[in-house]
Amino acid sequence: MKRKKGHAGFAQSESEFLISYLDRHNSWAVIVCLVGGGQEIHTGEAGIGAWLEAVRCAFPNWRTYVSPDLSGSEYAATRLIESLAGSVPLERDGRLHLNTSMRSFRSEKVSAFVTALLDCDGDRAREVFGHVTERYPIVVTRDLPRAKDWVRAHARGSEQYGLVASSQAMRPKPHAIDVRVSVDPVHWFLGEPSDTRSSYYLEDAATEFQVQGLEVDWACVTWDADLRLVDGAWRHHSFRGDVWTNVNKPDRQRYLLNAYRVLLTRARQGMAIFVPPGDRRDPTRLPEFYDGTFEYLTELGLPLA
């Protein structure tokens, strides 16, 4: 609004601005928000919290209906809902939660498994994985060619497969995965299997920004050292120059965690997770940067490819 519309003093969030349009009606209006959990991957994306905050601060006269499932960690809305309950008309209705996945049609529990995995809730993740793996295979490997062979072998007919990686995954480059190479999502998703730019070639890795909201049947997910498990907790890192640096801002930590949430939920039918083995000769790819994550995934029950 400031840059394109010339409103120098504009200070409303997108949510507040949109609600303000409907608030001008003399009688009544309904706003239906369909918001995915844990999909905020870039500065300025605030998810369901922005809508709740807009109601609390600017439109306390609106009656608000929310799903009880917004208490999940991927929504990060528990505190806002509690503050809303004391200041605006608020009702919880379980029918508002859309719990049938249209993406992972083989198993409706893939998102729940990924949430537990990223929450470091090992017991819950193992429990859910036992149900997921019956129809939705997930494997892990330290060998990229083996991961690629696995997805190729599982694809049938016109089923699509592709290589994905975090936009902050800067050190799989020795494995010929360079996220700095520009990927055209049109060619990546719609190109024929004979097109070297297509996902079928498993050469160009699409990032969370290029695949958000889209999917392939089978995914080869690269897990770099930007997000690593150390002593049972995630450590968030960004590669600057020739070293990994800590990511300390909570918002950026959340964006990085959500990037992997997006990557781990792109496959409709199954996925292979590639965790690099590291290299003791390279201080930017030490094995300990990756070993904790790989061991965690195998402890959850993921079989080797």
What is the C-alpha to C-alpha distance for residues 141 and 272, in angstroms, rounded to an integer? Answer: 7
Measured in whole angstroms, the distance separating CA 121 from the mean position of its chain's CA atoms is 17
Does residue 81 sit in the same domain as residue 134? no
pLDDT bin (cut points 50, 70, 90) of residue 140 is: very high
Q: If you average pLDDT over residues 131-152, what whole number do you get?
A: 96
**Per-residue pLDDT averaged across 70-80, rounded?**
66
Report pLDDT for 15: 87
Q: Write down how long the chain is.
A: 305
Helix (H) or strand (E) holding 217: strand 216-222
Q: What average pLDDT does this structure show over 101-114? A: 73
- Identify the H or E element spanning 159: none
Residue 8 lies in a domain: no
Same domain, 92 and 120: no
Residue 64's beta-bridge partner residues?
A: 90
Chain mean pLDDT for the chain: 89
Query: Considering the domain boundaries, does residue 284 fall inside one?
Result: yes
**Per-residue confidence at 76, pLDDT binned at 50, 70, 90?**
low
Sequence-separated (6 or more) residues with CB below 8 Å from residue 85: none
> Do 116 and 76 belong to one domain?
no
Band of residue 4 on the pLDDT scale cut at 50, 70, 90 = confident
Give the residue numbers spanning the domain of 146.
110-299
Q: How many domains does the chain have?
A: 2
Residue 33's contacts (CB-CB under 8 Å, 6 or more residues apart) are: 48, 51
Whether 13 has a pLDDT exceeding 90, the answer reads no
Which residue in the block uniquely carries the two structure tokens 């928000």? 33
d(CA 87, CA 82): 9
The yes-or-no verdict on residue 183 having pLDDT over 80 is: yes
For 240-297, how does the pLDDT look when each residue is reduced to its tens digit (9 = 90+)? 999 999 999 988 998 899 999 999 999 999 999 999 999 999 999 999 999 999 999 9
Q: Are residues 124 and 260 in the same domain?
A: yes
- Span 191-206, average pLDDT: 96
Phi, psi of 183 (to 5 degrees): -115, 125
pLDDT of residue 69: 76
Question: Are 169 and 259 members of one domain?
Answer: yes
